[in-house]
Amino acid sequence: MIYHLFIEPGPLADILPGTNVFKYLSFRTAWGLITALVTAYLVFPPFIHWMRQQKMNQIIRSDGPESHLLNKIGTPTLGGVCILFGVSVATLLWARLDTPATWMALIVMLGYGAIGFYDDWRKVMYQSADGLAGRWKLVLQTLIGGGVVAWAYGSSTIDATLPVPRFTTV
């Protein structure tokens, strides 16, 4: 989103000087990393506090190591939601939203995150360490990945070659 504001024909491209830095991938990557970290850092404490209030703790397997029985009691679950939120906010702010690859990566990340969310949610709701069966996780991941791969190959904007990164000037 920020890229589209500051790069032509964006509304702020001609008004503010020095906005050409937004076209550099390294600049947007660095600020995306900072944005994701700060967002997740701000969201984690209230989310963990809320999860503890709701008593949505991780279910510990009785057949696991004894250290898990002692150390993991009371550990809230669903923490990946905060990470996904931070990365999604950073992606939507700093990535080029006009490229299909951005949306493909976001769909895969959020789709796999939804599988993890559902797995953790089942564990909490059914008070079981089992969650979603592994075969269903693989089936869902294959469907999501396969759908995005089909989109990539069916799209005329995605090339089937692998670009190798290189520096043009050092």
d(CA 80, CA 60): 18
Instruction: Note the pLDDT of residue 156.
Output: 72
Between 121 and 69, the higher pLDDT residue: 121
The pLDDT, as a whole number, for residue 117 is 93
Task: Please tell me the predicted confidence (pLDDT) of residue 135.
Answer: 95
Check residues 141 and 51 and name the one with the higher pLDDT: 141
Token readout for 59 is 């279910």
Tokens (6 digits) for 40: 């997740």
What are the pLDDT digits (tens) for 86-145? Answer: 999 999 999 999 888 899 999 999 999 999 999 988 888 888 778 889 999 999 999 999
Q: How far is CA 45 from CA 27, 38, 78, 104, 168, in A?
A: 28, 12, 13, 30, 43
Among 12, 43, 37, smallest CA distance to 90 is for: 37
